[in-house]
């Protein structure tokens, strides 16, 4: 039985990009890259498939409390799929729900947490969930933030951006490597190499360069256009929207900037996201 390496983030922070890189790096370039096969190599921690595998009950009809009671079994089932480490995506808080860990520690090896400037994040959240920017600001500030259960996913409990960041980056119960989305954009080869080193893999520079090129934003958009992507929201034209940093400077009003900074000041300062003058 293996152990889980969690690929964690608040929604729309670059999780899929990192998953695709890891998929490309470890599988090599021989196979055709397809966004829709990601869960074959990097599992979804909230996928109903794993919950259905550990119960004879109808998962679609279970309450949140009943789902949480199955969560340790579902995570153990995922960990058992490979003999060593298993990459598993999550947006969940590193905390408990109904007194049960959202992230099961007994089957966890480590975590990789991707963090993104909330000033940019809010624009992607607005597009993905079909919200106005002001509603998206409310969304990332909601202490009870979650996604409703769907046909394929159980509820994900991510709370506010600040609480999500704190839970994964302040005294986690297992090793967690925090990587900024902006640094991935600025120096992808260096940052992906650091991720591999954290995972205990000696980076092959040429292979890192190939995988990074294969997973550039342009390449991912082309893949989505070619094959579609099951994770694309019905509210947006594409999952991979712009792929730039600093968009907020021309998109947000001063009032909106203030509304984002006020509840997130401490974590924004901690990770170097405060604009000049703050």
CA distance 185 to 189: 9
* CATH number of the domain residue 164 falls in: 3.40.50.300
Examine residue 86 and state whether it is found in any structural domain, yes or no: yes
Is residue 263, in this structure, part of any structural domain at all?
no
Report yes or no on 233 lying in a domain.
Answer: no
Asked, for residue 50, whether it belongs to a domain, the answer is yes
Cα(first)–Cα(last) distance of the chain, in Å?
A: 49
- Which residues, including other chains, have CB under 8 Å from residue 117's CB and lie 6 or more apart? 181, 182, 245, 248, 268, 273
| Nearest residue to 223 (alpha-carbon basis) of 37, 1, 70, 27 | 37
At 242 the pLDDT is 56
Host domain of residue 203: 3-117+149-228
Give domain status of residue 275, yes or no.
no
C-alpha distance from residue 158 to each of 93, 168, 216 (Å): 5, 11, 27
267, part of any domain: no
Residue in the structure block whose two tokens are 């360069």: 209
The domain tally of the chain equals: 1
Give the pLDDT score at 145. Answer: 97
Does some domain include residue 75? yes
Q: What is the pLDDT of residue 1?
A: 77
Helix, strand and coil content of the chain, in percent to the nearest 5, comes to: 50, 15, 35
Whole-number pLDDT of residue 245: 84
Averaged in consecutive runs of 10 residues, what is the pLDDT profile of the chain (278 residues)?
A: 94 90 75 49 87 97 98 97 92 98 97 98 93 98 95 96 98 97 94 96 92 72 55 44 79 97 98 94
pLDDT (0 to 100) of residue 230:
47
Q: Is residue 250 part of a domain?
A: no
């Amino acid at each position: 039985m293996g152990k889980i390496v969690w690929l964690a983030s608040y929604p729309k922070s670059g999780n899929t990009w990192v998953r695709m890189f890891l998929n490309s790096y470890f599988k090599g370039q021989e196979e055709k890259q397809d966004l829709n096969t990601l869960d074959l190599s990097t599992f979804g921690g909230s996928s109903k498939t794993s919950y259905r595998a550990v119960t004879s009950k109808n998962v679609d009809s279970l309450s949140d409390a009943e789902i949480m009671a199955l969560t340790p079994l579902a995570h153990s089932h995922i960990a058992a799929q490979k003999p060593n480490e298993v990459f598993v995506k999550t947006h969940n808080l590193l905390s408990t729900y109904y007194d049960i860990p959202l992230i099961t520690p007994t089957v966890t090896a480590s975590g990789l947490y991707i963090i993104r400037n909330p000033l940019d994040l809010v624009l992607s959240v607005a597009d993905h969930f079909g919200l106005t920017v002001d509603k998206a600001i409310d969304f990332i500030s909601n202490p009870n933030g979650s996604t409703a259960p769907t046909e394929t996913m159980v509820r994900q409990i991510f709370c506010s951006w600040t609480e999500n960041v704190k839970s994964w980056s302040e005294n986690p119960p297992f090793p967690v490597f925090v990587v900024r989305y902006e640094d991935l954009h600025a120096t992808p080869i260096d940052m992906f190499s650091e991720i591999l080193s954290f995972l205990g893999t000696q980076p092959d520079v040429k292979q890192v360069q190939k995988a990074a090129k294969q997973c550039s934003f342009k390449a991912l958009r082309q893949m989505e256009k070619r094959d579609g992507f099951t994770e694309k929201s019905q509210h947006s034209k594409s999952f991979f929207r712009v792929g730039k940093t600093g968009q907020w400077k021309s998109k947000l009003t001063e009032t909106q900037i203030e509304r984002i900074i006020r509840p997130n000041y401490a974590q924004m300062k901690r990770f170097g996201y405060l604009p000049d003058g703050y």
